[in-house]
Structure 1
Amino acid sequence: MPEMSPPSDPAAIGHWITSAPMRALVAAFGGELPELPTGKLLIWLDEFSARHWDFRAGAERFEARDWTGSAAESALIMDAARALGLVVPQPPRRDSYDHLLVLGGLAQGCLQRAAYAARLVSDGLKVGAVAALGSFRPCGPAERALLAKQTDCHEVDALDQGVRDAFGLTASAATRTGSDGPVGPRSWSHHIYRLDGGPRVHVLAAPASGHRANTADTYEFWAEELSLGIGATVLIVTTPIYVPFQHCDAVRILGCDVETIGLDQALLPAAMRQEPFSAGRHLQEVRSAIRSMHRLYDATI
């Protein structure tokens, strides 16, 4: 099956959710995709995926239980996920962008994405500015060990270390913060680095709309801090499994020309690569994509 790009408008969303790979996934879990208008079908898929593909149950992604099934079922899931755009990395379509965004996550993902972004720039991609978007989510023990930090370590620290290492940065040019005391949900920070002979590099921790900042919060905060223009071109770097959902959130929130790509681990140093995500993790992120598409669809009709 050919791979689909992440949808950016209602027609493309309708094509994605009624595609052959989506029908195959639904059938593999005992369902049949009904003939409904796009909005109602998104509601149906949200409810179906909540019953069958929600392994988080409100927890963080790294805390989710995994799905276990047969080898044949796993192969079908991975074939569908690949066709839906959650597996294969894609290179940038342009040779220049106004902004390059590096999305946060677990520490390993932060380091990978920063390294990949720097690789794109060193290979000749022209960008007006680079920004790494994260939060004050506390790092777990494994993340602190990876970053060689003992205490008081957050997701934004992983991004900061990642861009420092990847872009060869030293002292920050400027720092703004909204937290004078202990870090809380409304805390935020913005570090700005000057890259010799290159673009400015921003590292931001966004304030949270809930108990911690999510992807949408980071987009909104970055757009406000940098006064994003409507006609700006934006390239977002993440991990392939998250491309559809993070792309749809970006299109909905930023209102500009957005392209979202997943990093290519083959272009990273061997020590930074990780094992492929399981079939269950891909099911979970198909659900995330459905929910983000639902929000985008509601915002555009």
Structure 2
Amino acid sequence: NGIWFNSGDQAGSIMSCMVWVLLTYSALTVTLLAITGGIPVILGMIYNLLVAMSLACHAKTSLTDPGSVPIQAIPSERQRLLKDSHSMCGQCQTFKPPHSHHCRICNRCISRMDHHCPWMNNCVGVGNLKHFLLFLLYTWTAAAFALALFGWNYFFCADEFCIFHPIVVHLVRLMTLLAVGAFLFTSSMLMNVCYGIMTGIGTIDRLKKKATNTMSQSDEEPIPLVDVFGIAPYYTWCLPVDPIFADHDRVVGYTMPQRLDRERQFCEGQRPSVHHPHPALELPAYIQECLPV
């Protein structure tokens, strides 16, 4: 509950602030170029909107719980029924869900952890993967759009006489280098994240399997998009709002004792001891099947 903030990593805090500085600098550069007549104002407004969405997604990624496993977490009923192997975290001394890892920087086990990103000053896990993916998409689009704007401005001014302040010229040149770097970096990260979603194997798991030569196609199981973006209306998929999962326990890989008791009471035809306004949303599908019609 509340805002998640990793204050123990000073380097991560600095790198996270650098993202805001660079994106703000890019927005100011494009705005100056639009004001001086180098590009149409409407295109400058579109670019600033992309930057605003990118910054909003960055803030959500940084300040959202990435999926920290509670100390009271226990295997879900599905895992108990399937008799899956249950592992424990040596650092947390608690249940360790499948595909979770202990982050030494966050000092917590993170459910479905992909990696710890210093540019976000946070881990990327089940709780903020959507926001991280949206940040990459908006930043990639903004970088490509900026390069297109600078290219359009260059060819436009080749035919007509354009006068720009020397400061604007230097800002645009530096911004061009920044846009190229951002485009290449986000392209690489997008391919990495999309590969993890398509195979169901995160960055850390993939590196461990390659190191131990245990990589196999039989381990690949694509992650459904609803397990990333949630079951909310599709138009919210492009917005930095927290996803709602239909089967929360299955997605995060664990349950809580109180939750398990409530689900068992449902299966026994009893009323839950704790009232929830929308119990069906948070009850796993296999529990909903045993509800009386």
Q: Same fold by TM (over 0.5)? A: no
Normalized per residue, the structure richer in strand is: 1
Report the TM range for the smaller structure's normalisation: under 0.3
Q: TM-score, normalised by structure 2?
A: 0.25
Q: TM-score, normalised by structure 1?
A: 0.25
Normalized per residue, the structure richer in helix is: 2
* Structure with more contact order per residue of length (Cα contacts < 8 Å, sep ≥ 6): 1
Greater C-alpha radius of gyration = 2
